[in-house]
A and B are shown apart, each in its own frame.
Chain A
Amino acid sequence: MRLKDLLTCTIGIFLCTSCIKDEAPNAEADIEKCILPADILSGTEIDYNLPFDESLNAYPIYIEVNNGTDLTAQAPTFELTPGATINPASGTTHNFTKPVRYTTTSEDGKWHRTYAISLHYPSTTNIPTSFHFETVKKVSNYYVFYEEAPGHATLTWASGNQGFALTGGGNSPEEYPTTISSEGRSGNCLKLVTHTTGDLGNKVGKPIAAGNLFIGKFELLNALGDALAATKFGTTFYYQPTKLTGYYKYKAGPKFYENGEYTDRKDVFNIYALFYEKDDKVQTLDGHIATNNYEHPNMVALAIIDQADAVETEEWKRFELPFDYERFGKTIDLEKLAKGQYNISIILSASKNGDEFKGAPGSTLLIDDLEIEYK
């Protein structure tokens, strides 16, 4: 009898101390969805996961609305992390001719997030077509390139730097895979270096990070689950590109890393540009395009460096890459072109197979005076 009591007692103690506690209130405070009348939205997808913007001192949300929408009085409603609250309140009317700031508070009351929500009309101006890599802004601990030109929409270049930041490497912006260098043909230039990602990068199966720069968007949210889908290539282009030209210097890293070991393989870089049409289903092409040998039903033209020309050089070497339209056999619909229904992207990488996390640490690609010729 006593034995039974003893056992009951000990099991009782065990169960009492190791049972699942009540769930704590949520600590997150996200805007998960911003709702506006469907007839004013242009249909472009809204990104709720943009990185913190220091110039705005907030997390930005950009919402594209149709031309003619009254920006002075809009009353967005919000879906938030369950339990979170927002100030000013969901459904209140504000003047969106300038970004409107909202602050969310988590259910547990401990955490806040400040958002700057901007409504804007679809851009009708083209991005600059020549790029000199003179200007960067610092985001978090790394550089982001942007190109401004009078009469053009500012182009902000995307890179995988945000992903590299997660691995804890890169104590200064110069130690990131995508950075600026003062050794340009004139002034500054773009410097892409393939890095190892250290122990943490290894632990998530991403042992290297190739220096890369592209026109489009890097989505950190999906960078681990589907890295190729995290690089969204493309921005609207209102002309018909004919050629991509520019200058490069290249030095391959000493040892090539793939499948968990160093091999004798020689690293090469890659430069290519995509021109494709948008439709209801496809708004952007992603990193899968390269592994699919640049094939996609929406592709219109491809400009790519011939691997025979992608050589190591210590002097600036010029490249001229014609856009190949024949391969895809499509004609340009000028009406669609004027409406902004074609996208362009330029993709530069210090390691051609960096998208599959293969490459030689130390491979360095410098690029300057990049230009899109068009008609």
Chain B
Amino acid sequence: MKKYILLLAITLVSVHTWAQENRTKTLINAALHGWEYELKAGFNIGGTLPLPFPEEIRNIKSYNPTLSITIEGNMTKWLGEQKRWGVVTGLRLENKGMRTKAEVKNYGMEIIGEDGNRLKGNWTGGVRTKVQNSYLTIPILAAYKLNQRVNLKAGAYFSYLMDGDFSGHVYEGYLRKDDPTGEKVNFNNGAIASYDFSSDLRNFQWGAQLGVDWKAFKHLKVYADLNWGMNDIFNKDFKTITFDMYAVYLNVGFGYAF
């Protein structure tokens, strides 16, 4: 991910230089035809979570959004005489991450080892989860110019998973083997069972995007985009986690408008 960010940063700087040199000519010309270009940098705050929360989840003990950086280049084509409506598309490199500690009760699970050995049962206790996924995302949005400073945007995004990590461990609790009346095994004194479902993550993600930006200065914008995942982050045949999980993140940051 780091190298992508670096790449984009270099692009940003060179585009910036180019922009300054040619702004008067090219950009004004483009703007007259309804085109606008923007570079955005920000971070994602949110969660990869089941929606709605299943009753098995009893408590979220800690939550850390981690530093999930996003960087995006996009273009808007404003339509019609008034140029109030437009369409936006672009390319976004983003991390969606979080770390949580949750308490669950009677959570039905089946862990399948790499060698095919299975452990099925109901877990009551702590679950620590770490999610750190990198996506290449294409948003396709409709834009509405509320006034000279504020734009509203709504549409869809399509993401490709470049690198995924979904792992963690269960701790401080107990397992009932097979079902809630099965043999009981305590996990205490630091006993944990780790899990790693990274390879079960779905490669393609899509969702709804809803956003607003506010032009603070001539070139500087502040923006907030809500990205609401519409498909389960895991592959269809993945059954260990019995409920679907969705990536819901608020992306906030600054934009540079040319």
Contacts and interface: CB of A to CB of B under 8 A. Distances in A.
B76 to A, nearest CB: 18
Interface in A179-230: 198-200, 203-205, 220-226
Identify whether the interface residues of A are mostly helix, strand, loop, or mixed.
loop
B49 interface: yes
B187 A224 contact: yes
Given A27-B106, A199-B114, A111 B119 contact: no
A92 B185 CA distance: 31
Contact of A23 (B55, B183, B185, B193): B55
A259 interface: no
A6 B195 contact: no
Contacts of B84: none
Contacts of B56: 24
Point out which of A198, A204, A220 has the most chain B C-beta atoms below 10 A from its C-beta. Answer: A204
A204 B192 CA distance: 6
B119 A167 contact: yes
B119 A166 contact: yes
A22 interface: yes
Interface stretch (B13-21, B33-41, B157-165, B172-180): B172-180
Chain B interface size, as a band, is 35 or more
Interface residues of A, number: 44
Contact of B105 (A18, A23, A112): A23
Given A2-B146, A199-B117, A24 B106 contact: yes
B111 interface: yes
Contact of A6 (B113, B185, B212): B212
Contacts of A6: 152, 210, 212
Contacts of A167: 117, 119
A173 interface: no
B118 interface: yes
B186 A21 contact: no
A52 B192 CA distance: 25
Contacts of B47: 18
Contact of A113 (B181, B185, B248): B181
Nearest to B213: A3
A30 B184 CA distance: 10
A284 interface: no
Interface in B44-71: 47, 49, 51-60
Contacts of A282: none
A2 B146 CA distance: 9
Interface in A132-155: none
A224 B119 contact: no
A21 B28 CA distance: 54
Nearest to B172: A225
A335 B88 CA distance: 93
Interface in B194-212: 194-195, 210, 212
A28 B192 contact: no
Interface string A321-361: 00000000000000000000000000000000000000000
B189 interface: yes
A51 B152 contact: no
A51 B117 CA distance: 21
A203 B191 contact: no
B114 A24 contact: no
A199 B106 contact: no
A224 B185 contact: yes
A49 interface: yes
B81 interface: no
A22 B55 contact: yes
Nearest to B46: A14
Nearest to B106: A27
25 contacts: A2-B150, A3-B150, A10-B226, A14-B248, A17-B52, A24-B56, A26-B106, A28-B106, A28-B176, A29-B181, A30-B181, A51-B183, A111-B179, A111-B181, A112-B181, A113-B181, A162-B183, A168-B119, A199-B113, A199-B114, A200-B193, A205-B191, A224-B185, A225-B188, A226-B189
Given A10-B210, A29-B180, A200-B119, 19 more contacts: A2-B146, A2-B152, A3-B214, A14-B248, A17-B52, A18-B52, A18-B248, A24-B55, A24-B56, A111-B181, A166-B119, A168-B118, A199-B113, A199-B114, A200-B111, A200-B113, A204-B193, A225-B187, A225-B190
Interface of B: 47, 49, 51-60, 105-106, 111, 113-115, 117-119, 122, 146, 150, 152, 176-177, 179-181, 183-195, 210, 212, 214, 224, 226, 248
